[in-house]
């Protein structure tokens, strides 16, 4: 299951992780985000133990959203060693997301 990441847990969970981290920036009111949600959950299950998969609610965590320039949601960022190494804006198929994350394992 995808972790809930907040402004206060972001540094520890994402930036200090020794594994690649996929972060889904989303909001409850966002239709495309609801479409992407189950895909992110599947990716979290598939990559358990190999990567961290989490979600940031942009309405409740505006500091991180602003820091990374999130203007459109859903936006998925992939981090490795504390740096953004890939980005997907909008809904993407599970295969595309898994392929991008696999490239950073």
- Is 33 one of the catalytic residues? yes
Using the CB atoms, write b or e for 25-42: b if 16+ within 10 Å. Answer: bbeeebeebeebbebbee
Given the residues 30, 85, 91, 92, select the one marked as catalytic: 30
3-state SS string over 66-104? HHCCCCCCCEEEEEECCEEEEEEECCCCHHHHHHHHHCC
Looking at the chain, the number of H-run helices and the number of E-run strands are: 4, 5
Q: Which of 23, 33, 76, 98 is catalytic?
A: 33
Q: Is 30 annotated as catalytic?
A: yes
Catalytic residues: 30, 33
């Amino acid at each position: 299951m995808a972790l809930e990441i907040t402004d206060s847990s972001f540094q520890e969970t994402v930036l200090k992780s020794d594994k690649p981290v996929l972060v889904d920036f989303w909001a409850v009111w966002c239709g495309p985000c609801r479409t992407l949600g189950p895909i992110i959950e599947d990716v979290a299950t598939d990559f358990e133990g190999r990567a961290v998969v989490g979600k940031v609610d942009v309405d409740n965590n505006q500091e991180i959203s602003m820091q990374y320039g999130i203007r459109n949601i859903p936006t998925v960022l992939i981090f490795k060693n504390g740096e953004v190494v890939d980005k997907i804006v909008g809904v993407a198929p599970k295969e595309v997301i898994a392929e991008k994350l696999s490239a950073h394992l």
